[in-house]
Amino acid sequence: MIDTHCHLNDSQFDNDIDEVINRFFLSGGNAMICVGADLSSSLKAKMVADLNDNIYYTIGIHPDDCDTFDLNEFEDLILTKSDKLVAIGEIGLDYYHNKTNKAKQIEVFSNQINLAIKYNLPIVIHCRDAYADLLEVLKKYSPLKIGAVMHCYSGSLEFANELLKLGVKISFTGTVTYKNAVKVKEVAKNIPLDSFFFETDAPYLAPEPNRGKRNEPKYVFDTAKYVADLRGIDAKELIRITDANAKKFFNIDFI
């Protein structure tokens, strides 16, 4: 199985990253995508991917860091990529953390989408409390020439359908297993099988029964099993389908 979004580059893994990676593969994991969120974590994601088989990486400047965005510096990160780079992200809009710089966030998000289109890479989107503006930006690019996924989906079924219409995929974290996540469960139960895949967002958001602990990639199985139960289908079959979705989306190939 693939953990399509984790932060092995987070300092919470500095002391035991090799053990964390081993535990994932020993649990039956096949591949992980290590995600960047600013310049230094993007460089670290590349390092982690280049040092390990079946670990891929993304680079991106998160909206929380949009004030430090430098177009040339970011394009250099793409130009010096290794063959393990699979996407631009996480990028997007976050008005929960900061609603005073909306225009800047939209500008930096759009700049990174333009580069993703230029280099033909899919994008991994982060969005919090900014759904209307996010749709507006995405609609400007419609029909989008590259893949896009809404990471850690936490919105309504109605909004999910708006995204699906624009060709955006949905990615679920452990939050779907949380008791109060009623809306997300509804989405996970109802959207088409070819429209989503799974991630951990480790070290954050561990699924039940490990909620509150440090999350790690091997827990991605718990999220997949939970959604399989929600949909009343076999977990192995669901993982086969969502892994195929993720492989196609990120253009990665492995057994």
Contacting positions for Zn ion (CB under 5 A): 201
Query: Which residue's CB is nearer to Zn ion, number 7 or number 84?
Result: 7
Q: How far is CA 226 from its chain centroid?
A: 19
**40 vs 190 by CB, closer to Zn ion:** 40
Cα angle at 65 between 61 and 66, to 5 degrees? Answer: 75
44 vs 170: CA distance, rounded Å: 26
Comparing CB distances to Zn ion, the nearer of 29 and 92 is 92
Least CB distance from residue 232 to Zn ion, whole Å? 29
CB 242 within 8 A of CB 231: no
Polymer length in residues for the chain: 255
Closest approach, Cβ 43 to Zn ion, in A, equals 16
For the chain, the helix, strand and coil percentages under 3-state DSSP, each to the nearest 5: 50, 15, 35
Give the nearest distance from C-beta 92 to Zn ion in angstroms. 10
With respect to Zn ion, which residue has the nearer C-beta, 94 or 201?
201
In the complex, the smallest distance separating the C-beta of residue 56 from Zn ion, rounded to whole angstroms, is 15
Residue with the CB atom nearest Zn ion in the bound state: 201
- DSSP reduced 3-state for 147: coil
- From the list 88, 75, 82, the residue with the least C-alpha distance to 35 is 88
Phi, psi (rounded to 5 degrees) for 215: -85, 155
Closer to Zn ion by CB, 64 or 208: give it: 64
CB of 193 to Zn ion, least distance (A): 24
Distance CA 126, CA 184 (A): 16
Residue 158: exposed, middle, or buried by beta-carbon count in 10 A (0-12, 13-18, 19+)?
Answer: exposed
Question: H or E segment at 164?
Answer: helix 157-165
Taking the complex as a whole, how short is the minimal distance between the CB of residue 237 and Zn ion, in angstroms?
A: 27
Q: Does the N-terminal peptide bond of residue 122 adopt cis geometry, omega within 30 degrees of 0? A: no
CB of 124 to Zn ion, least distance (A): 8
Q: Which is nearer to Zn ion, 201 or 216 (CB)?
A: 201
Of 201 and 243, nearer to Zn ion (C-beta) is 201
